[in-house]
Amino acid sequence: MTEEVKLFGTWLSVFNRRIEVALKLKGVQFEYIEENLSNKSPALLKYNPVHKKIPVLVHNGKPVAESLVILEYIDETWKHNPILPTDPYEKAMARFWAKYIDDKLWPALTKVWVSKGEEQKGVIDEIQKQLKTLESELKEKKFFGGESLGFVDIAANVIVWLVVAQEALGMEILTEEKFPVLHGWHQRLVDDAVFKECMPPRDRQLSFVKVRFGSSTPSK
């Protein structure tokens, strides 16, 4: 049977990037549909009526929403080049860390660019504690997934967004000096051939962040 795989996303979304990376790691051909989130398409609203958010994967007409759920669906549907470990305990741990990233790190990352002064310093402090926690999980491993990109690495691409945004806004949250382990991991991730293919041009990202968040007070 011919597979029909569609991905509804937006170019800058870290959640969308998760799905693009996973599909490319698996070598799954897909049609990408860029959404305008200020004027969502009837198709997006039909496929994700609960959250009305991207990304949505539509596989042979059946929609799946929520990026971590989609990643698991992809891994179970196309079994080659696994993203999640097979061992139940390791799998649970991968889910744990991906959930940590979404429940803790991402909310702080969305706050930091729109806060100012003391509040912003507090958020930066919170983010840096979370980055330290992730460093202790990564330890001396090449990737969270071991030798190659796995579920947690894909989820943790929110850190790539952090690095782009801090550069655009002249902030220093994740630096090589403060976070040598994560800095090395970040470099390996952005150098990965598949990941690279999924990244929008750096200049486009930088100018988007400057325009959108440029009025925030930089805190070092």
Ligand X SMILES: N[C@@H](CCC(=O)N[C@@H](CS)C(=O)NCC(=O)O)C(=O)O
Which residue number, 53 or 186, has a Cβ lying nearer to ligand X?
A: 53
Q: Does 114 bind ligand X (CB under 6 A)?
A: no
Among all residues, whose Cβ is closest to ligand X? 53
Give the strands of the sheet with 56-59, arranged side by side.
31-34, 5-9, 56-59, 62-65
Q: Are 199 and 100 in contact (CB under 8 A)?
A: no
Q: Does 46 bind ligand X (CB under 6 A)?
A: no
Per-residue contact flags (x/-) with ligand X for residues 67 to 106, judged by CB under 6 A: xx--------------------------------------
Which residue number, 37 or 211, has a Cβ lying nearer to ligand X?
A: 37
Interacting stretch for ligand X, rule CB under 6 A, among 24-32, 63-71, 174-182, 207-215?
63-71
Find the shortest distance in angstroms from Cβ 83 to ligand X.
15
Q: Does 26 bind ligand X (CB under 6 A)?
A: no
Interacting stretch for ligand X, rule CB under 6 A, among 47-55, 123-131, 133-141, 146-154?
47-55
Find the shortest distance in angstroms from Cβ 16 to ligand X.
7
Residues that bind ligand X (CB under 6 A): 10, 13, 15, 37, 52-55, 66-68
